Structure 1
């Protein structure tokens, strides 16, 4: 049975053990400015990304800045 998480409203397989690993897989560096992450409704400071373990069923919201208007 595949374990899943929800990222920005989309279901995907749980393929990373930590929040930092998931963000790196998505091209978000730990040093990226302006990125905000909420895990199960709670904001996770960037300093805690490497220590935050992901589990099946987690709900993540990743907000990144973008240019344009």
Structure 2
């Protein structure tokens, strides 16, 4: 199944959910916001949100500084 993650085409398995997608990459789940097809998905919904062919996912990471 093909999806787009941060503007790049990605091949993933059928049934992939946002929780598994976040934990399969380098993003810190505690410092990321997920946008799926132009809508923000709260972290408590990640495991319930199954991706579909053609979905667009943006992982927005926050970096703190002082």
Shorter-chain-normalised TM-score: which range? 0.7 to 0.9
- Residues 14-49 of structure 1 show CA distances to partners (whole Å, capped at 9, x for unaligned) of 23611100111013454x1x3111000000000100
Task: Tell me what 2:5 maps to.
Answer: 7
Unmatched segments (≥5 aa) in structure 2: none
Alignment RMSD: 1.9
Detail structure 1 runs of 4+ shifted over 3 Å in the superposition.
27-30
1:54 aligns with 2:51: yes
Conservation of the 8 A alpha-carbon contact between 1:8 and 1:61? yes
More strand per residue: 2
Unmatched segments (≥5 aa) in structure 1: none
Q: What's the CA shift for 1:66?
A: 3.0
